[in-house]
A and B are shown apart, each in its own frame.
Chain A
Amino acid sequence: MGVALTRSAQWTAAGHGARTLETTPLNEAILEEIIMFVESFIYKHPQEANYVFVEPLEWKTNLDPPAFGSGYVVREIRLNPRTVKNDIELLKRFSGKEEQTVLESIEYTSDYEFSNGCRAPPWRQIQGEICYVLVKPHDGETLCVTCSKEGVFLNGGKTEDEGEINYERKGEIYKDLITLLREKSAIFSENMSKQEVGFNEEEQKKKDRPNEAPKEEVAASCKASAASCRSALEKNRINLGRSQLTKRLEPSLNWKTTIDAKENKSSLRDTQEEKHGGRLEKSRSSISPGRVQLIRKNAEKIEEIISESSSESEEDEEPPEHRQEANADLPSEYWQIQKLVKYLKGGNQTATVIALCSMKDFNLAQETCQLAIRDVGGLEVLINLLETDEVKCKIGSLKILKEISHNPQIRRNIVDLGGLPIMVNTLDSPHKSLKCLAAETIANVAKFRRARQAVRRHGGITKLVALLDCGQHSAEPTQSSLYETRDVEVARCGALALWSCSKSYANKEAIRKAGGIPLLARLLKTSHEDMLIPVVGTLQECASEENYRVAIKAERIIENLVKNLNSENEQLQEHCAMAIYQCAEDEETRDLVRLHGGLKPLASLLSNTGNKERLAAVTGAIWKCSISKENVTKFREYGAIETLVGLLTDQPEEVLVNVVGALGECCQEHENRVIIRKCGGIQPLVNLLIGVNRALLVNVTKAVGACAVEPESMMIIDRLDGVRLLWSLLKSPHPDVKASAAWALCPCIQNAKDAGEMVRSFVGGLELVVNLLKSDNKEVLASVCATITNIAKDQENLAVITDHGVVPLLSKLANTNNDKLRCHLAEAISRCCMWGRNRVAFGEHKAVAPLVRYLKSNDTNVHRATAQALYQLSEDADNCITMHENGAVKLLLDMVGSPDQDLQEAAAGCISNIRRLALATEKARYT
């Protein structure tokens, strides 16, 4: 019920962190419902009221909505991408300049649609937002509207400068777009009633389709009535019999599964967990009824989504549920294990230890045995044993838990049974072997988000970090007994558990705060591989955070990472390379890698291509290290560039991304470009332009572009039709790919023979480029401006893009503070002035005044490009007046004194044009 309410309640839109409930009619209605439900509940269902619910209980049902009767929270407004899209498309059809239309226009703010149907950026999707539309009614200003799952409302509008949307809610929430518009625009309301007939027909069609919205209400209301339905449902299940049970009951959640696709990872996981939790509950109840208490609060779940980072690489795939069929042939292990569990339950310490030791003789790596232990109720007993005072029982129990927790299902069961807090407490034991086993088991269990969070919540991170310190204070009295183990082993197990935990952002922070980094750095000095692997693994995982990268540098960890690259152990090499990859974004770190002699082992590891994980890590490290020129020089000495070219074929994408990235960096230098061409690197690079991997495409376009600087290479690229491939990437849905492709096109156009003819041969290509000026991504805009500058060098092409309306589109971009865009925009304007009456047109489209302001920028490149553009524009008298009025003369006079010769000339030329006009006017006045 909590989940349903959380979703339907209206929260303040304020970014991340804790959100609060808003005072809205809907929320008030929901609250009223809750109060009424809670107040009457103890009287209506006294037995059920005794259950303590700490986690929402959920399940799937195939009941129809009417089966619930009325009275459940079905009033919630639930929009989904499909309904919103239908509404908008419908409205579009009835929009236009004509009088009888309902609106002047309605447009999405973003034309990119995620696979789940949403257009809102992923971080806003988490808030339930679907898309944003700009609506221009016949009467009044353009409205910027947010469509979210909760309803439709006005937001803060699109900001002038950045084109960003201010997501803050600025008005009431309406149940759908049409209701909102009826409220905001009288003409809309009026014309809507006229259109009603046609509209209703459309609506009807929509309704005939399988409609998700009511279904979702079923799910919500089903959850809402969880407590009261429970017993009824259980009865139901018994009546339905097995055939029903085995069938997967899929009531709804269609929307969820679509929205949750890739972009909305966190909520996907959440859904899976919910589903899982629900199912688990169901099956468990047959074994031990009334196991409803253990479990966690709903509120935590929301916090979880916010606090956990997206950086997590999750195992959180729903593990397939294998449950022994009651009548199926059970393996003999099942009965033997059942007998042993009986001894665990009914025996004293001696019998328990015997049973535990005997249980360990089963092949616990085998799923049959793992699940048998769980299915006969062994997990509960094993966890309970951890709470006794019997050291031997605890050791025996943990030894089994450690093995069976390799199974993803068992992990979840352990967490659901509240096993983690107990294991975390066991870390405090004076017995080192207990500490070790507990830490190792935690390492296995903490493979998914909820478990990692539980470890942190119960103070586990601090305790695990303390284990790393073990053995440093050997003075303290230790209880030596037969079951003891070495201090190093304790530290190793601690590192192992931290490694698992470090996959959550919040845990990374917790490890750092607990002082884990210096301890890890110290352990890194050992030479035991089994210690080094978890230590480097943890560091590598954490190096995704800036804080860690700084600390890694400060603690002189790079040196040891480099040292261990020379290890014999492939896994260790992999993690070291991975850590270097993460850290080498930083220039100083890149230098450190070189100074400690890390480049040579990296280069030599390239030749071993069998282990793809390691190869990916190594090529990644090489890529990042190649950002420094000195490093590239070293790599060239070691012959790494040739080897990298050899890796351009027959490698998995993870490797290719890094290899191409590294080559892209190497290509910044002439010498290396020659090497790449000579060892046949151009062809495989161009071949990679036909791909779908976004990261790979960004890197490939960059590398191809860098190669194209070399005229000889350009010939090869042209022959392989590389330019056409680059050009088609301008249609990519990913802005970074678009931008990277556009940048790559610049040197291609510069260096191609008959570039003008080549460009014209791409049917529709010029129009495509010009239209990209409508993008709202700064990088795309800058790159497209640069491409246009190059295209416009050909008169004929300039004429074509002028016809496609390049002048007004460029003019529209003029109001920007982004220096990179300013620079390329000014260059493009300057080029485009060379055709027809474009100079005049730029003036008419008000591009001149903003350009003058560019002269106040701090960037000399902007100055140069702007002065050149102004010089071109100053050929038109009206532009001169605008410039003069905007104080261009004084600014340009300063630039005349610049050491940059091009800037000097352009500024002087512009001033002279303005001056000449002034003289002419004066002359005219006096004659």
Chain B
Amino acid sequence: MVTFCVGYGVVNCGISGTPGRPGLELGYLRSLHCVEATLDMDQKVLKKLVESISDTVKSFKKGEVECLIRIFHSLVERADVRLDNIGLDRNTFRVILHRIFGMTDDMLMNRVFFAFDKDNDNYINVKEWVKGLSVFLRGTFEEKLKFCFEVYYFNGDGYISQEKIFDMLKNSLHQQSPEEETDEGIRELVDITLKKMDYDNDGKISFADFEKAVKEDRLLLEVFGPCLPEAKNCLDFEALAFQHILTSTF
């Protein structure tokens, strides 16, 4: 029925070990757009779902929402829309992040997963999927700002603490010297970021700090590691995902 299949084997081996360039893989995507033809869905239910999602996510047209729902279902291999609680698990989602959106960092991909997973049930349901993609693909600066902050403070108390920064940056230096020296280097790097971003000098970064720093220099948006897809990957994804809408309007 559905020709698309997620490579669990790859996920199990660990994504970071995947050789070759991450990003949009043609085969992977080609499998996505045959989804439409094969998906057997209750039109009424689908329509209702589209309506309800469109009420909260304004950046997509209804047709686009429909496309995203279809893709979602092809990804979870469930055509039954009524089973609302079924979603993408962490590994599946990481494969998507890696292969479609070109992300590489394991830890950050986990954090992105949790940023998508608003209800913390360890699955991304269809609403969370569309909502998350709206930030990825059409997010305003403010939305992205909030999203990145959520990724970075991850399950915390609303602050990015010094330790969390250390965790996120600990792989950011090429290890040439003994471990202690590298650790020392990272600690200094943490100090540098705090000096730059911790405006209220409380030793941690609040959303207000983060917002102020990023507004001053947009390069700081993904300061602790890439958690948004690159523009090129987004364009390619949109082009393929919404392909039939584009062609049908002409």
Contact = CB atoms under 8 A, between A and B. Distances in A.
B169 A479 contact: no
Contact of A482 (B192, B195, B221, B232): B221
B174 A346 contact: yes
Interface in A369-405: 391-392, 395-396
Nearest to B231: A481
Given A339-B188, A348-B173, A351-B173, A356 B219 contact: yes
B190 to A, nearest CB: 9
Which of A339, A346, A360 gathers the greatest number of chain B CB atoms within 10 Å? A346
Contacts of B231: 479-481
Contacts of B196: 354, 357-358, 361
A544 to B, nearest CB: 41
A482 B172 contact: no
A348 B217 contact: no
B189 A351 contact: yes
A100 B193 CA distance: 92
A483 B144 CA distance: 13
Contacts of A480: 231
Interface string B198-241: 00000000000000000001111111111000111001000000
Contact of A350 (B176, B185, B195, B224): B224
A225 interface: no
A179 B199 CA distance: 82
B3 interface: no
B171 interface: yes
A643 interface: no
A98 B137 CA distance: 101
A348 B223 CA distance: 12
A210 interface: no
Contacts of A349: 226
B222 A392 contact: yes
A482 B144 contact: yes
A482 B141 contact: yes
A343 B232 contact: no
Contact of A360 (B173, B188, B217, B224): B217
Given A354-B189, A357-B219, A360-B217, A347 B235 contact: no
B176 A343 contact: no
A40 to B, nearest CB: 43
Nearest to A360: B217
Contacts of B195: 358
B223 A343 contact: no
A355 interface: yes
A840 B52 CA distance: 118
Nearest to B190: A354
Nearest to B168: A350
Interface string A337-353: 00110110011111101
Nearest to B144: A482
A484 to B, nearest CB: 8
A358 B189 CA distance: 10
A340 B195 CA distance: 13
Interface in B148-189: 168-169, 171-174, 176, 185, 188-189
Contacts of B168: 350
B172 A348 contact: yes
A477 interface: yes
B165 to A, nearest CB: 10
Which of A357, A391, A479, A481 gathers the greatest number of chain B CB atoms within 10 Å? A357
Given A351-B173, A482-B141, A358 B219 contact: no
Which of B141, B219, B224, B225 gathers the greatest number of chain A CB atoms within 10 Å? B219
Contact of B219 (A343, A395, A481): A395
B231 to A, nearest CB: 4
Contacts of B217: 357, 360
A351 B232 contact: no
Contacts of A347: 172-174, 189
Given A348-B174, A355-B192, A358-B196, A396 B235 contact: no
Contacts of A392: 219, 222
Contacts of A391: 230
Interface in A443-488: 477, 479-483
Interface in B119-150: 141, 144
B108 to A, nearest CB: 10
A481 B139 CA distance: 10
B188 A482 contact: no
B76 to A, nearest CB: 29
A339 B192 CA distance: 10
Nearest to B177: A346
B169 A351 contact: yes
Nearest to B213: A357
A479 B174 contact: no
B129 to A, nearest CB: 22
B235 A477 contact: yes
A481 B138 CA distance: 10
B235 A343 contact: no
Nearest to B105: A350
A340 B141 CA distance: 28
Given A358-B196, A482-B221, A350 B174 contact: no
A728 B221 CA distance: 74
B203 to A, nearest CB: 17
Contacts of A358: 192-193, 195-196
A97 to B, nearest CB: 86
Contacts of B232: 479
A347 B231 CA distance: 23
Contacts of B141: 482
B219 A350 contact: no
Nearest to B145: A482
A350 B172 contact: yes
Contacts of A396: 219
A346 B184 CA distance: 13
Nearest to B229: A481
B220 to A, nearest CB: 6
Contacts of A477: 235
Nearest to A342: B185
Contact of B176 (A346, A351, A479, A482): A346
A354 B174 contact: no
Nearest to B216: A357
Contacts of A482: 141, 144, 218, 221
Contact of A354 (B144, B176, B193, B221): B193
B169 A353 contact: no
B192 A354 contact: yes
A351 B219 contact: no
Contacts of A346: 173-174, 176, 185
A355 B172 CA distance: 12
Contacts of B224: 350
Contacts of A356: 219
Nearest to A361: B196
Contacts of B192: 340, 343, 354-355, 358
B126 to A, nearest CB: 26
A351 B230 CA distance: 18
Interface string B58-88: 0000000000000000000000000000000
A421 to B, nearest CB: 24
A477 B173 CA distance: 36
A360 B196 CA distance: 11
Interface in A788-802: none
Contact of B235 (A355, A479, A483): A479
Contacts of B223: 350, 353-354, 357
A351 B190 CA distance: 10
Nearest to B223: A354
The 9 tightest CB contacts between A and B, nearest first, are: A481-B231, A351-B172, A479-B231, A350-B172, A348-B172, A350-B225, A358-B192, A346-B174, A357-B217
15 contacts: A346-B174, A347-B173, A350-B222, A350-B225, A350-B226, A353-B219, A353-B223, A354-B223, A358-B196, A361-B196, A392-B219, A392-B222, A479-B231, A482-B218, A483-B219
Given A357-B217, A479-B235, A482-B141, 5 more contacts: A340-B192, A350-B224, A358-B193, A358-B196, A482-B144
